[in-house]
């Protein structure tokens, strides 16, 4: 009986080798991608807690393991931005937009990095790519306006117009949000809170500060920031305990006393407000403190004391818009219209979009029978704030009767 050979046929050897090669072609890239993801995740944890050197090492390892994943170059760029290294940030961002050409935030950040190196042509190209995305278009236009100013001065900076942000905060970045969500560094969290536009995303701003407070509850800066955010959100009852706690941590801090005085004023506790603000002003001249005291004096029907406080505000800060506006209103009420107009003019020179100043000028002009001029200012007030009650009521009265 013939024996069977024990060796594999050439066909079978070829098939096994082919299967092995296919398996390797699938397994090795998947292994490298998973290893890259793990390295990147370690980098993010280090980055979120301000351990930048170690984070950069992990991001570099992640990029080497998975060259197709642009995220690690983006995070490298963020580290370099935080360190003020615009050249390295730009280098990393070029790699990002090469891999992900539709990434508008990366183009915007590249524009910022190129601008800081005075590479204006490269910056303009990057901003132009970012401008195609409505989410960052206004920020890109702001960048191009800065280029125009840098090249030719303010007179020719006509690019900046329309919906360019006035009070500037950078665009929200989900990549940074991912870092913040895992951070246990109060410094990092407060930094990201400060970069969050409170008018557009108040909940996120509050959330980040509360996270910082949970991490570092006895940090005076964090406690103060919690109070400040709640005060900005017009929640004085919630803000007040944090300012009082801050005062326990930092004795006789003037700005904290001023904020406590404002909380009391907003809550209608005028005796406490006056006492606290006067205590703050014993520590030195402060424009906000004098202004808040003037406002309290008005609420207490003490116009002479209010006028004195507003004038002290302007002695410290002559361009303080609210103090100029409120002082002008007091002057107009006492018949000193000419002096009042000087202060309202100052307000509009500082802030042409000050609706209250336009409304007040309109009222003063109407009292003088200058209805055409009055209507111009009232219409401007209503353009700025369509719900401005005083301007709307006076505008309606002039329309109906020809007089206020």
20-67 pLDDT, tens digit each: 545 544 544 576 788 999 999 999 999 999 999 999 999 999 999 998
- Output 304 or 394, whichever has higher pLDDT: 304
Q: Are residues 146 and 50 in the same domain?
A: yes
Tell me how crowded residue 128 is: count the other CB atoms within 10 A of its CB: 15
Q: How confident is the model at residue 307 (pLDDT cuts 50, 70, 90)?
A: very high
pLDDT category, 404, cuts 50, 70, 90?
low
Mean pLDDT, the chain, whole residue set: 89
Q: Global pTM?
A: 0.78
Q: Are residues 35 and 123 in the same domain?
A: yes
The Cα 294–Cα 304 span in angstroms is 9
- Domain end position, chosen among 138, 154, 170: 154
Nearest to 245 by CA among 228, 266, 262: 228
In a domain, 116, yes or no: yes
pLDDT above 90 (res 279): yes
Same domain, 150 and 21: yes
Q: 38: domain range?
A: 14-154
Residues 59 and 140 in one domain: yes
pLDDT at 339 over 70: yes
Predicted local distance difference test score (pLDDT) of residue 402: 59
**In sequence order, what are the residues at sequence separation of 6 or more whose Cβ sits closer than 8 angstroms to the Cβ of residue 64?**
36
In this prediction, residues 135-146 reach a mean pLDDT of 93
49, 222, 263 from 226: Cα distances, Å: 20, 6, 14
Total number of domains in the chain:
3
Cα angle, residue 69 at apex, residues 48 and 122 outer, rounded to 5°: 85
Measured distance CA(322)–CA(329) in Å, rounded = 11
Q: What whole-number distance in Å separates Cα of residue 256 and Cα of residue 224? A: 8
Indicate the angle between helix axes 10-47 and 71-83, nearest 10 degrees: 30
pLDDT at 237 over 70: yes
Looking at the fold, whether 198 and 126 belong to one and the same domain comes out as: no
Last residue of a domain, one of 194, 227, 251: 251
Last residue of a domain, one of 208, 234, 251: 251
């Amino acid at each position: 009986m013939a024996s069977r050979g024990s060796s594999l046929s050439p066909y079978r050897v070829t098939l096994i080798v082919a299967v092995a090669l296919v398996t390797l072609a699938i397994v090795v890239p998947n292994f490298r991608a998973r290893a890259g993801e793990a390295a990147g995740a370690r980098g993010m944890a280090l980055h979120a807690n301000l351990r930048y050197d170690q984070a950069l090492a992990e991001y570099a390892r992640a990029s080497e393991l998975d060259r197709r994943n642009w995220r690690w170059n983006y995070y490298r760029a963020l580290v370099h931005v935080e360190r003020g290294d615009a050249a390295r940030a730009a280098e990393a961002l070029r790699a990002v937009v090469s891999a992900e050409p539709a990434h508008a935030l990366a183009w915007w950040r590249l524009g910022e990095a190129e601008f800081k190196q005075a590479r204006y042509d490269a910056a303009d190209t990057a901003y132009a790519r970012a401008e195609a995305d409505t989410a960052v278009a206004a920020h890109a236009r702001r960048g191009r306006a800065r280029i125009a100013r840098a090249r030719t001065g303010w007179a020719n900076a006509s690019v900046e117009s329309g919906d360019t942000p006035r009070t500037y905060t950078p665009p929200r970045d989900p990549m940074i949000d991912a870092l913040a969500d895992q951070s246990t560094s109060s410094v990092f969290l407060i930094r990201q809170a400060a970069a969050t536009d409170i008018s557009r995303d108040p909940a996120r701003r509050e959330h980040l500060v509360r996270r910082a407070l949970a991490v570092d509850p006895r940090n005076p800066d964090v406690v103060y920031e919690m109070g400040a955010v709640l005060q900005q959100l017009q929640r004085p009852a919630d803000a007040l305990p944090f300012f009082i706690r801050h005062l326990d941590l930092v004795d006789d801090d003037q700005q904290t006393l001023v904020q406590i005085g404002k909380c009391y004023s907003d809550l209608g506790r005028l005796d406490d407000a006056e006492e606290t603000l006067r205590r703050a002003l014993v520590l030195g001249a402060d424009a906000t403190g004098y202004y808040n005291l003037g406002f309290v004096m008005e609420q207490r029907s003490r116009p002479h004391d209010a006028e004195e406080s507003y004038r002290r505000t302007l002695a410290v800060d002559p361009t303080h818009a609210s103090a100029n506006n409120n002082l002008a209103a007091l002057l107009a009420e006492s018949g000193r219209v000419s002096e009042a107009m000087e202060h309202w003019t100052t307000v509009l020179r500082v802030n042409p979009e000050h609706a209250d100043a336009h409304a007040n000028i309109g009222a003063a002009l109407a009292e003088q029978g200058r209805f055409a001029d009055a209507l111009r200012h009232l219409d401007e007030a209503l353009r700025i704030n369509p719900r401005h009650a005083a301007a709307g009521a006076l505008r309606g009265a002039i329309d109906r009767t020809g007089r206020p």
